[in-house]
Structure 1
Amino acid sequence: MSDICVIIAAYNAEATIAQAVTSALAEAEVAEVVVVDDASSDATAEAALAASDGSGRLIVERQAQNGGPSAARNRAVALSQAPRIAILDADDFFLPGRFARLDPDLDLAADNIVFVTPEHAARLDPTNLPAAPREVEMLDAERFALGNLAQGVHRGELGFLKPVMSRAFLTRHGLRYDERMWLGEDFDLYMRMLLLGARFGLTRAVGYAAVQRGASLSGRHRTADLAALEACCRAHLEMPASPATQEAMRRHLRQVQAKLLLRQFLDRKAEAGLGAALGFALAPPARFLPIAKGVARDKIAALRPPAPPRAERFLLPV
């Protein structure tokens, strides 16, 4: 049954969008592929249209102004009708047979991600990936919050999952992406869904390939983006949840706040000098320790020789 809409928010993705679109159209369960070109300066829209298979399932719309990934995804959701919604980043691609392995009755159904370098992506053979159990693990809000705590692994948080979402659940609760967010927008939507009772199933079988590029938007944290993420984490705490879930969300909030404080400290240092930055770090004094830890962590990381990129790694152990 073809009941899935794949939505792709794309910005300056001329070099990669064709592979993304082609991988989505290749899946029998896909009824629609909607690409929203977020006012790219290159030929992203044209490249997406050129990847059409002639089935009439592809819609490409170009935004007049760049509104960010959340606005582009919301527009794609509005343009589509299929009962299940799958997110695909314009740099990434699906592995064959992905949707056949995901439970259509869940509100959120996710699988494992293989992160690959651009060089390895071209020669990735899904049949050579390690076998993984296909049993479904259920995620609740507490486990999801804990799974988004930084563990020292780049892009290792559960917020990077790309679940298939129930349109009925989103519509019933009036949920869409928060268009103020340019960082962590997926995490925010999934968390709100879970806090409202969504059933989130996860399998360790690999169905999504994420291409790691140095220019990834999620790797560039602007101060305003971190501030928006911090605000959304505080809003989550206002929703009903168990004491254990509340504590897990507070732990995650503290990590986000520490990152935001460090970014604000560095901004003040760049704009007004070290004295002004130290004044910010000491007023109130509670700011000093998280900022000092962040500065020390960055200094130590800068001294380490860069590790060679791994051709492939997995979000979840397999």
Structure 2
Amino acid sequence: MTAAATMDVCVIIAAKNAAETIARAVASALAEPETAEVIVIDDGSTDTTASSALSAADDTGRLNVVRFENNRGPAAARNHAVAISRSPILAILDADDFFLPGRLTRLLAVSDWDFVADNIAFMDETAAASAAADVGRFQPEPRLLDLNGFVEGNISHRGVRRGEIGFLKPLMRRDFLSTHQLAYNEALRLGEDYDLYLRALAKGARYKIIHSCGYAAIVRGNSLSGSHRTEDLKRLYEADRGILADNRLSAEAAAVIRRHERHIRGRYEHRRFLDLKREGGPIAAITYLLGKPGAIPAVAGGIFADKAERIRPTEALAERGNSNRLRYLLPASAELS
């Protein structure tokens, strides 16, 4: 560790059945000089996640692994980690993913923020080993993200790979969360990050973004973050409704949140229709629609989009970069020399 580094970041990793990747995530967090503590919450795993995490410990005593006997979800796991941590700055790292060297140094060089996030490099598992060399070095170009831009950036589009702004993993100042009594909504198992950041922005949080890339996200078909239940969609649009009811918002902000709520509610209605069709047959699904005529446009649009997606050529993972297995969440225009 460098003597100049200030160790004031707690890295939080919520993990379930992540034995194959958790050691890499832990090691990448411990390698950052600014990391004061790494807290792993083993959220009811049935594999060796806890022991695999411990295998990455160094001799600094910064790693703390806590095991939940029963799965409680990522929001509950993160809330527990926040409660037992001591550091003034909090960082979230998914168990599949890892930090690229120097990530925290670059983020902490930015001033005047309550949340600060950097670019994400999406890659498959085969690209992980060479990621530090392959990921581009971009000018930071810091900018503020306001509530409207954040919500607009979380309205997804079919046929486009993961790309919503909600996937960003910002550093968060503990004092802002404490002052505004903000925590993860434990009723959510989908969009819990989006919900927390939106509630923070509604309270006036300064959310900055830089285009430097320090977070590597592994794309895999069976990841927990890539799958969700129909009920999870319902809880997410209900969370939007809660934010609309509980905050004094501008007319523009309220309008964009309502757009997101309709977007998620439409996805829910489509999924609910498909569930009923699978479980009870076409008559059960059509009977449901007849009782909810307002859902018909969303269901029809979802069915049409599904059919179109089956015939659309698969999008390549790469958008730019040194590897055809890399793409970036944020556009980055200027590379460092």
Aligned with 1:315 (options 312, 321, 329): 329
Identify which range, 12-21 or 295-304, moves more after superposition.
295-304
Distance 1:97 1:236, change over 3 A: same
For 1:295, the equivalent position in structure 2 comes to: 303
TM-score, normalised via structure 2 length: 0.91
Q: Distance in 2 between matches of 1:188 and 1:105?
A: 22
Contact 2:151 2:257 in 1 (8 A): yes
For 2:217, the equivalent position in structure 1 comes to: 210
For 2:202, the equivalent position in structure 1 comes to: 195
Q: Deviations over 1:56-106 (max 9, x none)?
A: 100001111100111111111112110000000000000111111123641
For 2:335, the equivalent position in structure 1 comes to: none
Q: Distance in 2 between matches of 1:49 and 1:110?
A: 27
Letter in 1 for 2:186: E
Deviation, 1:304, is 3.6
Aligned with 2:90 (options 85, 88, 93): 85
Q: Distance in 1 between matches of 2:76 and 2:200?
A: 18
Mapping of 1:1-318 within 5 angstroms? 1-102=6-107, 103=110, 105-126=112-133, 128-152=134-158, 153-238=160-245, 239-304=247-312, 306-307=314-315, 309-310=317-318, 311-318=325-332
Deviation, 1:267, is 1.4
Q: Distance in 1 between matches of 2:137 and 2:102?
A: 14
Letter in 1 for 2:146: D
Q: Any unmatched runs of 5+ in structure 1?
A: none
Aligned residues: 317
Across the aligned residues of Structure 1 and Structure 2, the Cα RMSD in angstroms comes to: 1.3
Letter in 1 for 2:139: P
Deviation, 1:284, is 2.9
TM-score, normalised via structure 1 length: 0.96
* Other structure's SS at 2:237 match: helix
Q: Distance in 2 between matches of 1:165 and 1:247?
A: 26
Deviation, 1:250, is 1.2
Q: Any unmatched runs of 5+ in structure 2?
A: 1-5, 319-324, 333-337
Q: Deviations over 1:244-272 (max 9, x none)?
A: 11111111111101100011111111222
Distance 1:218 1:16, change over 3 A: same
Letter in 2 for 1:317: P
Q: Deviations over 1:163-201 (max 9, x none)?
A: 000111111111111111110000000000000011100
* Other structure's SS at 2:130 match: coil
Deviation, 1:132, is 2.1
